Amino acid sequence: MNALASPRSAAAPSTAASLAGRVAVVTGAAGGIGAAICEGLAAAGATVAAGYNGSREAAESLAARLSVTSGQRHAALRAPVTDSAALATLAADVQARWDRCDILVNCAGTTRFVPHADLDGLDDALFDQILQTNVRGPFAAVRALAPLLRASGAGLVVNISSIAAVTAMGSNVAYCASKAAVDNLTRSLARALAPEIRVLSVSPGLADTDFVKQMDADWRDEQAGRTPLRRLAQPAEVAAAVLAAAVHLTFSTGAVIPVDGGRPLQ
């Protein structure tokens, strides 16, 4: 079994689903999934603000590449999701540049591998960092950009979650708890912000990013073997789900969209 095999369904999202004139802010844009989401949104016509924290050069390179391939003026903007003041600055910058924000994708996240039985290994500092980044971060980003999203007339928030929220299997106990909280946050905000803003979760299984490709090949193949579709998720497939939420699922809110190959079925 080869976890890195390219599936037929991992093609880039179709540009037939046009987001021309829309502005999308993506936090955690420099990561493998974040970059794929930015590429998918730009290919569909959206102007993208590639949000970064510590990966400025990667985000700027991404924005420059998107600008060349799409002919639009994208930008890399600082978006540290644990800093509410910086997020307020981000919102002001987005308004000054484009005078609108139609889509917010909360993709920034953090974790570290700690065996679930190793309670001492999951220290308070790591636990707090995970919750602050993965749970408070998306809420803070929504809070900062809510006025622009409301003014859009068709505002959309997509929170990138994980099947760890359902399976309780993941990099550590706190990470699993954080993603369960993200899905609950999605439902709460969908109710609170309707009808002006829709809120959805996209919930991938293990995605075949560059980070995952650096891990032990036998481990990756084992993870793929535990999935009914017998492979890992491709970042472009996660991006396609975000694009579907923006373009096709216009009467959906408060829902969790799985992109997991049926992993919870095993």
Query: What is the set of active-site residues?
Result: 175
Do β-strands 23-27 and 47-52 pair in parallel, antiparallel, or remain unpaired?
parallel
Q: pLDDT at position 11, please?
A: 44
pLDDT in tens, 30-89: 999 999 999 999 999 999 999 999 999 999 999 999 988 878 899 999 999 999 999 999
- Provide the CB-side half-sphere exposure for 192 (13 A, CA): 11
Distance in angstroms (rounded) separating the CA atoms of residues 185 and 201: 9
The angle, 0 to 180 degrees and rounded to 10, between the axes of the packed helices 235-247 and 32-43 is: 40
Q: pLDDT at position 244, please?
A: 97
**Which residue bears the tokens 């307020």?**
88
Give the ranges where the chain is alpha helix by DSSP (H): 32-43, 56-70, 84-98, 124-131, 137-152, 164-167, 173-193, 210-213, 217-225, 235-247
pLDDT in tens, 160-184: 999 999 999 999 999 999 999 999 9
Distance in angstroms (rounded) separating the CA atoms of residues 169 and 110: 16
pTM of the complete model: 0.90
Question: CB of 15 within 8 A of CB of 45?
Answer: yes
pLDDT in tens, 15-24: 455 899 999 9
Q: pLDDT at position 112, please?
A: 94
Domains and CATH numbers, the chain: 23-256 (3.40.50.720)
What is the percent of the chain where pLDDT is above 90?
77
DSSP state of 163: T
pLDDT at 141 over 80: yes
CA-CA-CA-CA dihedral for 167, 10, 66, 37, to nearest 10: -20
Q: pLDDT at position 153, please?
A: 93
Q: First-to-last CA distance in the chain?
A: 17
Give mean pLDDT, residues 104-116: 96
Model confidence band, residue 7 (pLDDT cutoffs 50, 70, 90): low
Q: pLDDT at position 227, please?
A: 87
- Between 81-95, 120-134, 166-180, 224-238, the lowest mean confidence (pLDDT) is in 224-238
| Nearest partner of 235 among 202, 264, 199, 186, judged by Cα | 202
User: How would DSSP label each residue in 46-70?
Assistant: -EEEEEESS-HHHHHHHHHHHHHHH
